[in-house]
Amino acid sequence: MAQAIKIYDDRMCALVRPGALLQKLANGAVHSEGPVYFHEDDSVVWSDAHSNRLLRWSPTDNVTVLRDPSDYQSGNYRDLQDRLVACSSGLRAIIRCEDDGEWKILVDRYQGKRLNSPNDLVVKSDGTIWFTDPPYGITEPNQGYGGEPEQPGSYVYRFDPTTGEIYPVVTDMVRPNGLAFSPDESLLYVSDTAAFNIPGGPHHIRVYETVDSRHVKNGRVFAIIDPGQPDGLRIDEHGNVFTSSQDSVQVYAPDGTQLGKILVPETSANLTFGGRERDRLFITAGKSLYVIDLNTRGVQL
Ligand code: MG
């Protein structure tokens, strides 16, 4: 365990517990990504994205392997029926674990052409799935099965699993990656990880206003993230943005002010709120899964 908090603004003090320690729950992964919390058994499921496995941690079972291979599963989430839904960078699809344990492809095409490689997703309160589609499962040999891009760009899509309707909502980003809605879903935050392998590429979070739960408008840069780039992000009950970065989970107020950092000894890729009170922050970073207890609650699990 290690002291983990850096405070840049007094508002950070209300979000953390004095002397809070970052605790490592698990290690031995290759590249931890996409954590999702299960309140039923206090467990966390996450992707060991580069070794093509899906892992689970629980206080009683420690670490177990849920899927091997996982078709390069990346971001994970739960739908309104508490089913596990996920991005499959290998299958270039959004997939869902059915009640019988079988994984079903929900969508893998837009206008008849294959998606790039869905990376991260959120389920909105109306049940629609919003996901990012950068090409890493095509371009990076340890993140998918390769292939050719068929879409003209890297977009954020809105997909309705009830009707099958899919269309892009964000088309002005370079490599959209992590995403999350504000507590009232009036705002959509999306990280751009282009700087990962595009020299001079963006390493920022953009924010958009949602329109009628179907579209977004007025996109602008919310925060430029250093060092490294943002990947997964989550929002707390006050609308604060918690984003992964190279050295920490960085915390930003809704007005864009950086409040502080939760230092993490490995590069964090993603995070999720969990715990019975939704006040524990689980962080996937490098080879490991970490947790820290906070004084604020997440709005999305
Ligand atoms: Mg990601």
- CATH number of the structural domain spanning residue 178: 2.120.10.30
Pairing of strands 84-88, 280-285: unpaired
CB count in 10 Å sphere of residue 82: 10
CA–centroid distance, residue 173 to ligand 1 (Å): 15
**Which residues span the domain enclosing 167?**
30-232
CA–centroid distance, residue 233 to ligand 1 (Å): 9
**Tokens representing 192?**
């751009």
Tell me the three state secondary structure of residue 161: coil
Strand partners, 241: 235, 252
CB-based contact 277:297 (threshold 8 Å): yes
Longest alpha-carbon distance in the chain: 53
User: Does residue 163 fall inside a structural domain?
Assistant: yes
Residue 25 vs residues 67, 84, 292: alpha-carbon distances, Å: 20, 22, 10
Taking only the tens of pLDDT, the chain with its 301 residues reads 456 899 999 999 999 988 889 999 999 999 999 999 999 999 999 999 999 999 999 999 999 999 999 999 999 999 999 999 999 999 999 999 999 999 999 999 999 999 999 999 999 999 999 999 999 999 998 999 999 999 999 999 999 999 999 999 999 999 999 999 999 999 999 999 999 989 999 999 999 999 999 999 999 999 999 999 999 999 999 999 999 999 999 999 999 999 999 999 999 999 999 999 999 999 999 999 999 999 999 996 5
User: Does residue 155 fall inside a structural domain?
Assistant: yes
CA–centroid distance, residue 22 to ligand 1 (Å): 22
User: Does residue 88 fall inside a structural domain?
Assistant: yes
CA–centroid distance, residue 66 to ligand 1 (Å): 20
CA–centroid distance, residue 222 to ligand 1 (Å): 18
User: Does residue 225 fall inside a structural domain?
Assistant: yes
- Minimal CA–CA distance to 210: which of 238, 188, 189? 188
CA–centroid distance, residue 18 to ligand 1 (Å): 30
Count of the separate structural domains present in the chain: 1
User: Does residue 167 fall inside a structural domain?
Assistant: yes
C-alpha–C-alpha distance, residues 113 and 165, integer Å: 14
